[in-house]
Structure 1
Amino acid sequence: MIKHVVMWKLKDEKSKKTKFENAKLIKSRLENLQNIISEIKYIEVGINLENFENNHDVVLISEFESLTALEIYQKHESHLEVSKFVKSITELRTAVDFEF
């Protein structure tokens, strides 16, 4: 099994949406991928508590049967759409993949 963990720091938006509103959109869109991409065995998205400013804003914890399954997920059209949105509002991304 592969655990895929990603954390994002969101940009301070000058648009109509706050970091927290964008974090909720990321959470919803990522969690919805479980209904679309069968390779996802587990997915959880957390939003940082607002009183810890130096932390990342959003974390994704997901699980896959294999590296091949993770690669299928990463190349899936629906994931790429979510990824494009996330990249547009992110200033920093950190990730780790490991076997468990």
Structure 2
Amino acid sequence: MIRHIVIWNLKDHAEGADKAANLQKAQTLLLSCAQVVPGIRAFEVATATPGMDCTNDLVLHMLLDDAQVLAAYQNHPQHLAIKPFMKAVVNERHCMDFTV
């Protein structure tokens, strides 16, 4: 199994909207990809909880059967379609994939 984690910090303003609006849109877009390929066992998207000491704005956590499922997800047209928006609103992105 592969665990795929992506963490983003968003710009204060981008694409004609503030960070809060872009966070909501990013979360909705990511969630729309939750079942685009077979082999995704867990798919979670979360934003920072107000009042908690957080250093990031948005996180994606996935558990996948194997590296082939991850590759299929990353190259799926629905996933590729959200990348331009994400690139436009994101200030910083970190990713880590590892075998579990």
Task: Tell me the TM-score normalised to structure 2 length.
Answer: 0.87
SS of match in other structure, 1:34:
coil
Please name the residue that 1:63 is paired with. 63
CA RMSD of aligned residues (A): 1.9
> Retained in 2: the 8 A contact 1:39–1:73?
no
Task: Give, in angstroms, the shift of residue 49 of structure 1.
Answer: 2.7
Q: 1:54 to 1:61 in 2, by over 3 A?
A: closer
Identity fraction in percent: 28
Alignment of 1:97 with 2:92, yes or no, is no
> Retained in 2: the 8 A contact 1:7–1:94?
yes
Distance in 2, Cα, partners of 1:65 & 1:17: 36
Structure 1's unaligned 5+ residue stretches are none
Task: Tell me the TM-score normalised to structure 1 length.
Answer: 0.87
Q: Which has the higher strand share?
A: 2
Structure 2's unaligned 5+ residue stretches are none
> Retained in 1: the 8 A contact 2:42–2:63?
yes
